[in-house]
Amino acid sequence: METTGENLFQVKKERSYISCLVNGCSYGFKHLGMLLRYIWPSLALATIIPIPFVFFYAAQVDAILRKWVELGYVPNVTLKVMRHDIEKCAGRSAITILLGILMLPFVLFAIACLVMPIFWGVKYLWGVLVFLLIFILTLPMVVVVMQIGYSDVPLKECFSSGFKIAYRNFGKVFAFEFMSALLGSIIVFLGSIPYQIIFAVCQQAYKGWQVGDVVDLPLMFPLYAVLSIFVLFAVILVTVLVFSFSRCLMWGSLVYEVPTESDTHS
């Protein structure tokens, strides 16, 4: 547990993307036990029924991050204590999720365009150009989502300021998102091992059934399959929770304004 005078952490501060990633993840992991005690209701519900409880989960995450930005430390709070804060940012958190859902088809299309030359030859090199165009246009939305989730800036200004900040720090934002995606993918892959094992067993059982073999799976096998899916969802949500501290630090680094000479002497 932290108190007001202990371990204060300045979120809005100029940092490198590596520093944001490392410090944010280590801070989130350090407080993971306390965070899980606060967020377990929405995490459990979102694991079992992702829609609509993932919106509740996002609101809880954004509320505690806003408290971190405000106080400089993560308080040992409960769902009851944070109720007002969660209600306050629930609408903006929902908008960030909806924006992510809307951007997903463009991202998948861009990835498809990127791999076309690999599978169908050099004549599809135009796919790389399409990928780059979509990439340049959509990456700033990452900062827009940060602005909406972590600040009280009016929504219209979130888009304008988000795009300006993103294009001014394009390389930094790209490097941070790439490293976050890479590390997050590794963690989620490890968490998906139980599901991969169950899936491989199902494939082998199906192939055997096709050739006339008797399928003799354990009686509890369906339960194991369901549990493996729940474990995968839980790992994803916990990973998002920990990495959200890095994203908040990245946002703080982007919006941080270096004090002017007059400010330092005032």
Burial of 69 (0-12, 13-18, 19+ CB in 10 A): middle
Please answer whether residues 43 and 238 qualify as being in contact, where contact means their C-beta atoms are separated by less than 8 angstroms: yes
**Would you state the pLDDT for residue 129?**
87
CA–CA separation, 245 and 52 (whole Å)? 23
**Would you state the pLDDT for residue 238?**
94
pTM confidence score: 0.85
**Would you state the pLDDT for residue 16?**
92
Residue 217: both structure tokens together: 């799976």
Please answer whether residues 96 and 54 qualify as being in contact, where contact means their C-beta atoms are separated by less than 8 angstroms: no
| Domain residue ranges in the chain | 17-256
From 164, 169, 171, 170, select the one nearest 144 (Cα to Cα): 164
From first to last of its 266 residues, the chain has per-residue pLDDT tens of: 444 445 688 899 989 999 999 999 999 999 999 999 999 999 999 988 888 899 999 999 999 999 999 998 988 888 888 989 999 889 999 999 999 899 989 888 888 888 887 777 777 778 888 888 888 888 899 999 999 999 988 988 999 899 999 999 999 999 999 999 999 999 999 999 998 888 888 877 777 766 666 667 777 778 888 898 999 999 999 999 999 999 999 999 999 864 434 333 43
**Would you state the pLDDT for residue 247?**
95
**Would you state the pLDDT for residue 215?**
65
Tell me which long-range contacts 93-101 makes (C-beta under 8 A, separation of at least 24): 93/55, 93/58, 93/59, 93/61, 93/62, 93/149, 94/55, 94/58, 94/59, 95/148, 95/155, 96/58, 96/62, 96/145, 96/148, 96/149, 97/54, 97/55, 97/58, 99/141, 99/144, 99/145, 99/148, 100/145
